[in-house]
Structure 1
Amino acid sequence: MKVECMSIKGSGKSNEDAYVLLQAKHVFAVVDGVSALVPYENEAGQTGGAIAAELVKRQLEELPEEVSLQDALAIANEALRDAMSASQIDVTKKEALWGAACAVVRVGGAHIEYAQTGDCMIFAVYADDTVRPLTHLQVNHLERRAFTKWEDGIREGLQTRPELLERCMDTLKQNRYQANAPGGYGVLNGDAVAKDFIEYGRMNKIDVKALVLLTDGLFMPRPYEGVEPNWEQTVLPIVHKGLQRYTDDLLTLENSDPECLRYVRFKKSDDKTGIVLYLE
Structure 2
Amino acid sequence: MKIEQLLLQGSGRFIEDRLVVRSRQRLFGVFDGASSLVPQLYQQRSGAWWAAELAWQTFCQQPDDALLDLARQANQDIAHHMTRFAIDRRNPLHCWSTSAAVFRLLPNHLEWLQCGDCLILAIDRQGQAELLTPYSNHDAETFRQWTAQPDETLPQILQRLRPTIERVRLGMNRDYGVLNGDTAAEAFFCQGRITLDNIQHILAFSDGLLPPLARRDAMPDFSQLARLYLQGGLEGLGQWVRFIEGRDPHCHRYPRFKCHDDVAALAISL
Normalising by structure 2, report the TM-score.
0.96
Per the TM alignment, residue 226 of structure 1 is displaced from its structure 2 partner at its CA by 5.4
Q: Which amino acid aligns with 1:6?
A: L
Per the TM alignment, residue 225 of structure 1 is displaced from its structure 2 partner at its CA by 3.3
Matches within 5 A, 1:112-261: 112-138=110-136, 140=137, 142-151=138-147, 153-154=148-149, 157-181=150-174, 184-225=175-216, 227-261=218-252
Q: Which of 90, 100, 103 matches 1:102? A: 100
- C-alpha distance in 2, partners of 1:226/1:275? 25
CA contact under 8 A between 1:70 and 1:199: conserved in structure 2?
no
* Counterpart for residue 50 of structure 1: 49
Unaligned runs of 5+ in 2: none
Matches within 5 A, 1:257-272: 257-272=248-263
CA contact under 8 A between 2:9 and 2:261: conserved in structure 1?
yes
Deviations 1:46-95, CA, capped at 9 Å, x for gaps: 10110111110010012252x32122101110111111111111111111
CA contact under 8 A between 1:36 and 1:98: conserved in structure 2?
yes
Q: Note if 1:60 corresponds to 2:56.
A: no
CA contact under 8 A between 1:117 and 1:198: conserved in structure 2?
yes
Structure 1 runs (4+) greater than 3 angstroms displaced: none
Per the TM alignment, residue 158 of structure 1 is displaced from its structure 2 partner at its CA by 4.9
What is the aligned residue count?
270
Deviations 1:254-280, CA, capped at 9 Å, x for gaps: 11110112222221110011001111x
Q: Secondary structure at the match of 1:242?
A: helix
Q: Note if 1:25 corresponds to 2:25.
A: yes
CA contact under 8 A between 1:158 and 1:164: conserved in structure 2?
no
Q: Which amino acid aligns with 2:242?
A: L
Normalising by structure 1, report the TM-score.
0.92
Unaligned runs of 5+ in 1: none
- C-alpha distance in 2, partners of 1:79/1:104? 17
- C-alpha distance in 1, partners of 2:128/2:114? 21
